[in-house]
Chains A and B, each alone.
Chain A
Amino acid sequence: MQLEKLTLRNFRNIEATEFRPHPVFNIFYGSNAQGKTNLLESIYLLGSLKNFRSARNDELITHGETAATIIGCTRQNDVGHEIRLDINKEGKQARLDGKVINRPESYLSCLRPVVFAPEVVGLIKGPPAGRRQLVDRAVFQADAGYLENVQTYSRQLKQRNRLLKTGGQVEQVETWSSELARTGARIRYARAAYLERLIPRLLDSYRNICGEKETISLNYRAAGKGITELEQELLDEYGRQLEQELRYQMTLCGPHRDDIEFMVDGRPLRNFGSQGQQRSFILAFKTAQALDLQQLHGEPPLLLLDDLTGELDKRRQERFYQFLLNLKTQVFITATDIRPLHDGGIKEGYFIRVKEGNLHNDKS
């Protein structure tokens, strides 16, 4: 995956910029609140159609303007594409090679960015939703059919919840339970299959890239189960919860409420891990994800790294830079200070000073 050109118009504090990234290292540096992270955010949004920090549409548009545009020229296995995202207050529209997309798969396969941002580390101690999202976004990029199942499930869930809210008859609720169980089983199966594949890589990254010694793992309830078994399990869950659900007027179980437990030496990381272990865990997860994507698609994904220096100590940073130098993928990094990167061996690339939404390229 390569981003060969990035064009931004009225995106947050960046009024207009056109930038041809370096094939490997692109470092955005400068003081805080100048727009460094906005650049990473624009690339992530363009490539994945999702925000990596929560934002309403109007927050993404430069103050006083009505619309923002992000355009990227991409190259993947020697095929070039233009992807474009237009944002106005009402919504977003994505185009692939000038055409409005109706199926997102081919669009989303153009960049497949993987992001590491300080906020992500908070997921480990936070509510299940954050951990679910971390895993779900990884599965999306690796499994083309997953998105469709998730979209179907969320529609079925909305239907069932409305039915519970409006006091629908039990026969109808049970119909939606069966539909939800059918799709929900596929979602749980896909998550478990992905995690099973990821765990050996995760452990390897944790030890070799992060330099830690413990054994880490991810616990998920659906591990090792078949789709039919999972569907029956879900049907039983809905059956057991029905009375409660009728009382609370909402669906109380299913993959949309699952947790994925992060384990270190057999104990939950959220209760027992140190801050350093938690950061290493997330970094190991992201590198494992990148290596997995590399094996799946024949090319490593684009990496977006937001302010690593604040999150990782010198030892962890240097090991990680070594990993990046070996991976040879396109990387976008934000930093307040570029010295730690230099010290870590990252010398070739574009070092771009970002000031008040403008890019100043001092090539090295």
Chain B
Amino acid sequence: MLDSIPSFSRLVAELAKFPGIGNKTAARLAFHILRSQESEALALADAICDLKKKIRFCSICHHITESDPCPLCTDPARDEQVVCVVEEPQDLISIERSRSFHGRYHVLHGALSPLDGVGPDELHMHDLVERLKEGRINEVILATNFSVEGEATALYLARLIKPLGIRVTRPAHGIPMGSDIEYVDEATVHRAVSGRQEL
């Protein structure tokens, strides 16, 4: 049916690529855009282009940023002796929202998962080690998810980092097994990051 309206089916196809969005929802969103004012539709398109043009990844911590290095890496008020390692930018944002941590970050962009073809080379692991070798950091908090892959990633990193003589810890309590930090409430993240365990 939609094939006879190419411009509409093109938008539906694009929207259906989003995570958690199937064809039905994509069609609903497309109808919503169709019914909205042209200025609104343009504002959406512009916001998407603007994001793609301006947002980059910080060359130090790999968080998303408009300026490189990012504000988190350049803020002199933040403790540069502690670095918190997370899987995804969303995890960093959750920890920031909980206001439980005032050091620096390092975003891996994933976790070890042979089933998905992700090994150490596919993650920002080597430059984490380079950062640590510079000598200013004396504690690493491994805040990867409490999933099978997140746990293995934490263990792999711990074994990589410990020979450098740096303290390695992992949030210990509060986050239920198998959960993503991104989806856990702020109070729980706060408890987890402040009550960490030595590895």
Binding site for B on A (CB under 8 A): 148, 152, 155-156, 158-160, 162-163, 166, 168-169, 171-172, 175-176, 178-179
Q: In the bound complex, what is the Cα–Cα distance between A148 and B117 (angstroms)?
A: 25
Q: Out of B115, B152, B177, B178, name the residue touching A175 (CB < 8 Å).
A: B152
Q: In the bound complex, what is the Cα–Cα distance between A176 and B120 (angstroms)?
A: 13
Known A172-B119, A176-B152, A179-B151: A159·B159 in contact at CB below 8 Å:
no
Main SS of chain B's interface residues?
helix
Confirm or deny: B26 has a beta carbon within 8 angstroms of a beta carbon on chain A. no
Which residues of A have CB within 8 Å of B113?
A: 159
Q: A152-B148, A166-B117 are in contact. List 13 more A-B contacts (CB 8 A).
A: A148-B178, A152-B177, A158-B115, A159-B112, A159-B149, A160-B114, A162-B114, A163-B114, A171-B156, A171-B159, A172-B119, A172-B120, A178-B155
Known A171-B159, A175-B159: A159·B148 in contact at CB below 8 Å:
yes
Which residues of A have CB within 8 Å of B149?
A: 159
Is there an interface contact between A155 and B148, defined as CB atoms closer than 8 Å? yes
Contact with A along B107-125 (1 / 0, CB 8 A): 0000011110101100000
Q: In the bound complex, what is the Cα–Cα distance between A166 and B117 (angstroms)?
A: 9
Give the nearest-CB partner of B153 in chain A.
A175
Q: Please indicate which of the listed interface residues B113, B119, B120, B148 has the most CB atoms of chain A within 10 Å of its own CB.
A: B148
- A268 → chain B closest CB, angstroms: 36
Q: In the bound complex, what is the Cα–Cα distance between A158 and B148 (angstroms)?
A: 11
Q: Can you list 13 residue pairs at the A/B interface with Cβ under 8 Å?
A: A148-B178, A158-B115, A159-B113, A159-B115, A159-B149, A162-B115, A169-B119, A171-B159, A172-B114, A172-B156, A175-B112, A175-B159, A178-B155
Binding site for A on B (CB under 8 A): 112-115, 117, 119-120, 148-149, 151-152, 155-156, 159, 177-178
Is there an interface contact between B148 and A179, defined as CB atoms closer than 8 Å? yes
Which residues of A have CB within 8 Å of B119?
A: 168-169, 172
Which residues of A have CB within 8 Å of B114?
A: 159-160, 162-163, 166, 168, 172, 176
Which residues of B have CB within 8 Å of A175?
A: 112, 152, 155-156, 159
Q: Please indicate which of the listed interface residues B114, B152, B155, B156 has the most CB atoms of chain A within 10 Å of its own CB.
A: B114
Is there an interface contact between B155 and A179, defined as CB atoms closer than 8 Å? yes
Q: In the bound complex, what is the Cα–Cα distance between A175 and B113 (angstroms)?
A: 12
Q: In the bound complex, what is the Cα–Cα distance between A156 and B151 (angstroms)?
A: 10
Give the nearest-CB partner of A152 in chain B.
B148
Which residues of A have CB within 8 Å of B177?
A: 148, 152
Q: In the bound complex, what is the Cα–Cα distance between A166 and B148 (angstroms)?
A: 19
Q: In the bound complex, what is the Cα–Cα distance between A162 and B149 (angstroms)?
A: 13
- A262 → chain B closest CB, angstroms: 33
Give the nearest-CB partner of B155 in chain A.
A175
Which residues of B have CB within 8 Å of A178?
A: 155
Nearest 6 CB-CB pairings of A with B: A162-B114, A163-B114, A175-B156, A155-B148, A162-B115, A179-B152
Give the nearest-CB partner of A175 in chain B.
B156
- A56 → chain B closest CB, angstroms: 24
Q: In the bound complex, what is the Cα–Cα distance between A312 and B174 (angstroms)?
A: 52
Which residues of A have CB within 8 Å of B117?
A: 166
Q: In the bound complex, what is the Cα–Cα distance between A178 and B152 (angstroms)?
A: 9
Q: In the bound complex, what is the Cα–Cα distance between A148 and B177 (angstroms)?
A: 9
Which residues of A have CB within 8 Å of B112?
A: 159, 172, 175
Q: In the bound complex, what is the Cα–Cα distance between A175 and B154 (angstroms)?
A: 9
